[in-house]
Amino acid sequence: MKVLITGSGGQLGKEWVQFCEQNEIHFSDFSSSELDITNTSLLRQTILKHQPDVIINCAAYTKVDEAEEEKIKATQINATSVHKMATLCNELNIKLVHFSTDYVFSGNVEDQSKFPDGYPENHERKPVNEYGYSKYLGEKALEESGCDYLLIRVSWLCGKYGNNFVKTMLRLGKKMDNLSVVDDQFGSPTFTDQVVKHTFQLITANESGIFHISSEGIISWYEFALEIFKEAEINIELKKIDSSAYPTKAKRPSFSKLSTQKISNIDGVSILNWKDGLKRLLKQL
């Protein structure tokens, strides 16, 4: 199997590179500065040169608040370029693995009681911010392309590379005596090593379509921070606040838990509890 990884400089892309190296998978990788996926001719040229069996697209616009003002840029990267990549994959008979987000759902408080185990893959998509809308458009483009695809949705992504909530809490915990974290947004973290492991299981099982990858359990950001400090043995006073006390440009969903029932039915896939995932990550860090 020959794999081509785009966006290999990000936290998920770097995890894929490490996984391919450790498992002796034949791969080529490009950071977003090396391969701008919005440049269609360069994208085509790169794909034709390397002739992969699978493209793993980790290139994405991920700045949630900035997307409110950079709608065109977010849409170009998260939707238009996905459409072009999927069209090329359909033409050249390449499987495309693309990553999306919990932010394609509305995240209403009412949905938490409707879906105690999280949103199923086929739930209606109704994003509440521009970032979520750009990812939704990318999903639609992929589905309508006719190519063989895996669409993997993740939430609260964190890993040993790049920037994420766990690393931010560890950094702030070392220099602050007290910290306020929102306690009215609920979901579950997704750890990058698990994303790569389970996505590869789906690829080797020749699965297609939409799958959610996340952790077992549902928590608030406050509860997540509490556990990070407990496991890292950082003594800090943590205060609960409502989202209204921490206004952001982009609206955040109140509920963004993703159900992992579908992927749990795939042979060999075992979903980690979020606490176990956090312990693993802290050891890696």
- The residues annotated with a catalytic role in the active site are 131
Nearest residue to 152 (alpha-carbon basis) of 81, 76, 109, 95: 95
Nearest residue to 32 (alpha-carbon basis) of 61, 64, 73: 61
Beta-bridged to residue 216, according to DSSP, are: 273
Contact 219, 187 (CB under 8 A): yes
Whole-number Å distance between alpha carbons of 11 and 6: 12
- For 138-175, the DSSP string reads HHHHHHHS-S-EEEEEE-SEE-SSS--HHHHHHHHHHH
Contact 125, 136 (CB under 8 A): yes
Interior CA angle at 208 toward 102 and 254, to 5°?
Answer: 10
Whole-number Å distance between alpha carbons of 104 and 117: 17
- Whether the CA torsion 62, 117, 198, 206 is positive or negative: it is negative
Interior CA angle at 110 toward 106 and 116, to 5°?
Answer: 95
Nearest residue to 252 (alpha-carbon basis) of 15, 94, 64: 64
